[in-house]
Amino acid sequence: MLLISPDSVEEARDCAKAADHLDIVDVKKPDEGSLGANFPWVIREIRDAVPAGTPLSATVGDVPYKPGTVAQAALGAVVSGATYIKVGLYGCTTPDQGIDVMRGVVRAVKDHRPDAFVVASGYADAHRIGCVNPLALPDIAARSGADAAMLDTAIKDGTRLFDHVSPDACAEFVRLAHAAGLLAALAGSVTAADLGPLTSMGTDIVGVRGAVCEGGDRNAGRIRPHLVAAFRAEMDRHARRQAAATVPAAG
């Protein structure tokens, strides 16, 4: 699935024009961090701006180890219209802290809307900020009752997912997530050039912003429908190639 992250209602309208080429619209506020939380009214406005059948995701933030605070924020996101709730475990330094935060989120979200989808997000560059190891995320997600594990990059300085976690380590992340019955999501300045390895390792959700912005610039550029369509076409090409490679030879 392709997840696109507009940072405004105007950009969300551009995503709506490309709704046939994406699977999830993700609401975030990049100037508050890689998983920065936007305002509840922005979530509502973007929910109204995109087709009703397009799932809406919302980030709760690069959160501290404050389970009650984070649970309330997650409830605010789902009440505002998001059905995918993403939590960046920025301030969690141990798996137990991550589980503590995510259990509160899962209960808050699912008590309000049982069919909502909860995503525990970690950071490929965790070593730069001192948070929990990226490969601990699938276990944290599974033990807390979340639905997916995700990796992104915390510091948006031009470095990318594979600069911090090798393709082999990302493949292990995907394998661990699938073994636990979770979806695996990968993001972090992903480009079309990364789609080959991401597809071959079985990634379920690819999250992008810069790759579908003018000039590839997540901050100064704006999401454009034709760039979304082109990125999706490349995703589909790799998916077809992967499917053909795994079909047994006849006879």
Residues that are catalytic: 28, 86
State how far the Cα of 23 lies from the Cα of 43, in Å rounded to an integer: 17
Where would I find the beta strands (DSSP E) of 18-173?
Answer: 24-27, 56-62, 84-88, 117-123, 148-152
Q: Which of 5, 76, 81 is nearest to 44 (CA)?
A: 81
How does 123-142 read in b/e, with b if 16+ C-beta sit within 10 Å? bbbbeeeebbebbbbbbbbb
Amino acid at 11: E
Q: How far is CA 88 from the centre of its chain?
A: 10
DSSP state of 59: E
Q: Which of 79, 72, 6 is nearest to 36 (CA)?
A: 6
For residue 212, give the H/E element and its range.
none
DSSP state of 74: H
Helix (H, G, I), strand (E, B) or coil at 89: coil
- Partners of 221 in the beta sheet? none
Burial of 55 (0-12, 13-18, 19+ CB in 10 A): middle
